[in-house]
Chain A
Amino acid sequence: NAGVTQTPKFHILKTGQSMTLQCAQDMNHGYMSWYRQDPGMGLRLIYYSAAAGTTDKEVPNGYNVSRLNTEDFPLRLVSAAPSQTSVYLCASSPAYPPGTLEAFFGQGTRLTVV
């Protein structure tokens, strides 16, 4: 059972470039989310999706998300900025009760924007 898989593990991006961070889960979880983790800041939520085909929160500037199916939850950085340098963590959990059960995390993508 693979759980939550994130790719790539590491990436260096130039300012202004775009890229998509991939996240896939094989546990049939309805709820998926993206966090970023910065030194001394803890994990901060970027976006979540409660179910496939739904978008439930205003997407922060500089990011784009989609949830076309249950398994995949890609996060796109649109015109990357150095402030987006971070470790990005994807998580999934059973849909009901929403988010109250344990969240499974991927290994993270360490992204550097230069």
Chain B
Amino acid sequence: EDQVTQSPEALRLQEGESSSLNCSYTVSGLRGLFWYRQDPGKGPEFLFTLYSAGEEKEKERLKATLTKKESFLHITAPKPEDSATYLCAVLGTGYALNFGKGTSLLVTP
């Protein structure tokens, strides 16, 4: 059975303090690893898809990387508007995303 574990559960950063969120996974036949951002009261918003180990993608202050066992979401010089819950999900041989529980990020001024 596919499993996705995200750590830490919660992270508090000062504005400008870079850090990384972790997503460890076990899946048979990875077809994609997805990162989403979710703001309170909203649905998840797509950030990245990674398909194979070694792949990296960037968007503004965010950079996602992928190995055979885990993915990292690096946040460089975060701003308060980066505060949100970040969700990781994998797609294996089935037809639905398997989500982790998320990391709640708070960036303080």
Contact = CB atoms under 8 A, between A and B. Distances in A.
Contacts of B4: 42
A22 interface: no
A68 interface: no
Interface stretch (A11-19, A78-86, A101-109): A101-109
B57 to A, nearest CB: 12
Range class of the B interface residue count: 20 to 34
Nearest to A108: B43
B97 A45 contact: yes
A56 interface: yes
A40 interface: yes
Interface in A43-66: 43-45, 48, 50, 56-57
Contacts of A104: 46
Most buried by B among A4, A31, A43, A91: A43
Nearest to A102: B46
Interface in B47-94: 49, 87, 89, 91
Interface residues of A, number: 29
Contacts of B36: 105
A41 interface: yes
A44 B1 CA distance: 14
A103 B36 CA distance: 10
B45 interface: yes
Interface of B: 4, 31-32, 34, 36, 41-46, 49, 87, 89, 91, 95-102
The 4 closest A-B pairs by CB, nearest first: A105-B43, A42-B101, A43-B99, A102-B46
